Amino acid sequence: MSQEGIDTIELESSRMASGGHDAGDEAHLSPTTHSNRSNSVYETRYQKSLRHYLTREALPKESHYRNLNSIVDGSARPTLDDLHNNTYREQQVVLHRWVEDPFLREGGVSALKQRQGSADPEAPQATLRGKVIKFGWLEGVYMRCLLNIWGVMLFLRVSWMVGQSGIIQALIIVICANLVTVITTLSMSAVATNGRIQAGGVYYMISRSLGPEFGGSIGLMFTVANSIAAATYIIGFCDSLKDMLKYEFDGTTVIDGGVNDTRVVGTVTLVAVLGLAIVGMDWVTRVQMGLLFLLIGSQIDFIVGAFIGPTSTEEEAQGFLGFNLEVIKENVIADYRRFEGSNQNIFSVFGVFFPAVTGIVAGANLSGDLKDPAVAIPKGTLGAIFTTFITYIIYPVFLGAATLRDASGNVTLYESYINETSEEEYHFRDNPVFTNQSCNVGEPGDEREPCEYGLQNSAQVMELMAAWGPLIYAGCFAATLSSAIASLVGAPRVLQALAKDKLYPGIFLFSKGYGANNDPVRGYLLVFVISLGCIMIGDLNVVGTLLSNFFLASYSLINFSCFHASLIKSPGWRPGFKYYNLWVSLVGGLLCLIVMFLIDWVMALVTFVVVIALYLFVSYRNPDVNWGSSTQAQTYVTALKATLDLVSVEEHVKNYRPQLLVLSGTAGSRPPLIDFAHSITKNISLLSLGHVIQGPQTQRIRNALTRQSYNWLSRHKIRAFYSLVEGNNLEEGSRSLFQLVGLGKLRPNMVLLGYKANWGKCERQELKAYFNTLHEALDMYLGVAILRVPQGLDYSQIIEDEDTPVIMNGTDTNITSNVEDMKRNQSAGQLSLDDNASEASTPPGSPKPERTAGTDDANAMKRRPSIADLYRGPGGVELSKEVLTNITMFKRKQKKGTIDVWWLYDDGGLTLLLPYILTTRSQWSGCKLRVFALANRKDELDMEQRSMANLLAKFRIDYSDVIVIPDVAKKAAESSRMEFDKLIEDFKTKSSEEISKENEGLLISEAELLGQREKTNRHIRLRELLLENSKDASLVVMTLPMPRKSSVSAPLYMAWIETLTRDMPPFLLIRGNQTSVLTFYS
């Protein structure tokens, strides 16, 4: 294909061979040459794509770190198996499918995601139409925060604060209030820049930082609070409108000048605000921009009027004298008086003023509508706080320097005094308009009505000082309406994010958005209904302080989330905003709590109760979310510290707890075995499940098996660890488990196995591995317990795990959707070597389906209320009542009966301790202990019985009876001996010389039978006694015969156990490690 003037690429045929993509395969990589018209040849191999030509390694890329890997360009990060084991991954076929499939070629990304049934949650939805509106820091955060902080309190309460506290203390109050908001903003900025912030604002930040419990409670409170706040702001607008009509338009009214005016005007206003919100955020922003200019204009009007001074004697009579040093001296100190039925002080005034500086989260609540929340939130919020702080510092000085605290407004009296007094003698302090001669100026004992005007009495001081008063009313209108719009727009977005997370039942319908901007129209309607109901009430002063406390609670948690994340030093805590400190955040959180109580301690307590109630509700629901919160990190830190502290704690027999390692296989294979172990540990002692599988297996398989087991434990509310090891056989794997399971002193001290019922028919090496597992446990100084139940323990061929459909009559068990590369025709049960460790026979009454039905992922983790739903057969079929009864035998309440304890030999007391622990559990509380013991001599029977009773009394163990067995050494009946001989018939050999090295310990020689004849007779005799005394017991517990090394073979030992336990009630054989676990010392 070479032509003059055309560059060519020459590739050897071996370059196209399969397997030539790895850098290590140099044989597959030949130099690529580039030739041009001048016939110069140079190598271009390293100009090619590094990923596709030289190596499978992927270069760092943003898409690799998304919640869902981007596979559009075929550049998903390879797994460790791909790189290390040179395995083939299905995702590598995507590029070929892209080229060969016209549907994918034409449909692009959306077609690929549609076919795969998954999509990147961070990607925009392709089906939405319309213009996507995203805001920068100026219009998205700065403007909205200004509108909320410059609220109606600026016009109505700043003058009253100066009148009560004086200029100096008023400035202190402003500084302290802004200190709280600045610290909170610094904490919020740190949280907002620690990763990508999505829609939900404060709720999203708190929930992802502190977890769903705190986030869910604050999210719901924030939604309700903003819904009610929208109504309060609209009511404030109505009140300002009524005041303007009264003073500026000669008492004009809409209906009656009262609550009905509020209802009518408020409803119309609310409908208008709702319509604006539904039209879209673009129009909301335009309207708010206009309101901001109006708000700024009203403040300029106030400043200009303050410098101009009073323009009439009427203004002077109402206390506005202009900038005057004497007025400053009069107002510089505090003059706290009684107001609305309570005496005021600096703390109460601070509580009244503080809501004026809230609103710092107005921009953060629209985080989903911001171009870059991590940049916009810190920049816009801090800028708004700085701007409003300057105004809140200046305005109290202006008010205190130009207006008196009290004035009657009597123009005639004011002018009369001026006319009667010379200019040299005149002083405003002596004017009766400003003294108690005309009205009550706050002097103690004065029963007259207080003065109508002045800083202490009038809320319209700024309107009085303004150059044009009506513009101040317009500013009040702008402040109230802008706050109402922010609340009605912000609350539904928080609710939408809360609904998407499904933390509360019944609110998911509010998660749906409409249009290109995903507008929460349903949330708008809900907030509209709540606000309309509040407007109909007409007066919400009662809940005003409660709303402030709700907002302060969220601020406190923002500070605490920053403090907590910094304190635990999680590596994932890497905020881009660096100007924060954990101790400053802690102080900010505490200050928010203090302010809550300063505002209203009763409402503060109500807020605490609401937060705790919602926290407990979400915690009880235990939502299935994993957000990497700092509380998760705290769990690790706390557990690590406690485990390390435990290392230094000296062990004592009084604090002994049975810490169980259960050789259970996968968690769902042997439910009765795990239930029995759990009834011993009951979440207050260590329970660890051990699983041995044939190796080697990929990490993907190991992860899938681990995940399935923990899912099963979670569904069945059993708290336990799961340990998976690979081994050639059970003995080898168990040795690894005995050595490695646990951490420090938090490690097993006993092993629980299921009885191997098929020991006489299984492969000889299987039997040997099981028997040697007992030796391994005893070599490690672990206690050993073997459980046998009549119906068997292994239900792996009967129960279908919700995560793992099982094919019963075949050999295939698929770990669907979790393990793509599990070997074909090899089941989890076949991988497991722990099948040897429990009842091998299939329990009766089990279904025999031939095929499976897939389990839907959405139902896989669904909580099921009944036991019948917890256990399902293959394909989801219902199990018979008999099978369910057998599976759940240790979950149910046991009938009244006895636990027969055959404490044959002193093993340290473990044989006695475990049944006692069982009697303290609710399932076994109706069972009484009967203790059986052996007598050394028949003539010492009474003494042995009294001695055992005395020992039990010292151990403080309740029992119903003590029975001493005098004739355990008596020769067993011939029929019993014949039954035993049948058990070992297939394992007998005449001479030990006939036993090969391979079969060593697997055959029983005549010499061994002769040497163990006394023990054999004792066990046969014990069976006769068991049948005589314990046939009807609820549970039989007996000391496990010691499997002495080199003395007893595996089949003989198993024959002893078979003799003791066959056709008996549930039977537990226990052998302690000969160390005391009981004491009668205090």
**Rg of the chain on CA atoms, in Å:** 41
Look at residue 1074 and give its three-state secondary structure. coil
Average pLDDT for residues 827-832, to the nearest whole number?
47
Q: Is the pLDDT at 105 greater than 60, yes or no?
A: no
pLDDT surpassing 80 at residue 605: yes
pLDDT-derived band at 61, boundaries 50, 70, 90: low
pLDDT of residue 457: 86
Phi, psi at 172, each rounded to 5°: -60, -45
Query: Does the structure show a pLDDT above 60 at 1068?
Result: yes
Q: Which amino acid, residue 466?
A: A
Question: pLDDT-derived band of residue 441, with 50, 70 and 90 as boundaries?
Answer: confident
pLDDT at 893 over 80: yes
pLDDT value of residue 798: 85
Tokens of 1004: 């029983």
Residues with Cβ within 8 Å of residue 959, at least 6 apart in sequence = 928, 929, 930, 931, 952
* Distance in angstroms (rounded) separating the CA atoms of residues 205 and 188: 8
Nearest to 709 by CA among 639, 660, 662, 777: 662
Of 298-312, 491-505, 885-899, the least confident? 491-505
Q: Is the pLDDT of residue 118 over 60?
A: no
- The whole-number pLDDT of residue 823 equals 39
Is the pLDDT confidence value at 115 over 70? no
148-197 pLDDT, tens digit per residue, is: 888 878 888 899 999 999 999 999 999 999 999 999 999 988 888 887 77
Find out whether 437 and 259 touch, Cβ atoms under 8 Å.
Answer: no
- Characterise 543 by phi-psi region: left (phi > 0), alpha (psi -120 to 50), beta (else): alpha
Instruction: Using pLDDT thresholds of 50, 70 and 90, give the confidence band for residue 342.
Output: confident
CB 825 within 8 A of CB 846: no
And the tokens for 311?
């323009």
The H or E element containing residue 296 is: helix 281-308
Tell the burial category of 368 from Cβ atoms under 10 Å away from its Cβ (0-12, 13-18, 19+). buried
First to last CA, the chain: 96
Alpha helices in 920-1005 (DSSP H): 941-954, 974-984
Of 21-30, 31-40, 333-342, 804-813, the range with the lowest mean pLDDT is 804-813
CA angle 442, 445, 450 (to 5 degrees): 35
Please, which pLDDT band fits residue 736 given cuts at 50, 70 and 90?
very high
C-alpha 287/C-alpha 936 separation (Å) is 99
Question: Mean pLDDT over residues 224-229, rounded?
Answer: 82
Tokens 């204009």 belong to which residue? Answer: 297
The rounded mean pLDDT for the chain is 79
What's residue 1000's pLDDT? 77
Structure tokens at 950: 């005395």
Compute the average pLDDT of residues 761-784: 92
Mean pLDDT of the region 814-823: 37
- In this prediction, residue 993 has a pLDDT band, given cuts at 50, 70 and 90, of low
Range of lowest pLDDT (146-155, 415-424, 586-595): 415-424
Closest residue by Cα to residue 819 from 698, 704, 707, 725: 704
Task: Give the pLDDT of residue 87.
Answer: 62
- The beta strands (E) that lie in 779-937 are given as 783-788, 897-902, 927-934
| Helix, strand, coil percent content, the chain, rounded in steps of 5 | 55, 10, 40
Q: Which of 1058, 1062, 1047 is nearest to 1013 (CA)?
A: 1047
Looking at 301-310, 316-325, 545-554, which range is the least confident one?
545-554
Residue-wise pLDDT tens digits, 563-584? 888 888 888 788 888 888 989 9
Q: Does residue 445 have a pLDDT over 70?
A: no
Pairing of strands 783-788, 1067-1071: antiparallel
Q: Is the pLDDT of residue 850 over 70?
A: no
pLDDT at 100 over 60: no
What is the per-residue pLDDT across 696-733, written as a single tens digit (0 to 9) for each? 888 888 888 999 999 899 888 899 999 999 988 899 99
The arithmetic mean of pLDDT across residues 909-916, rounded, is: 93
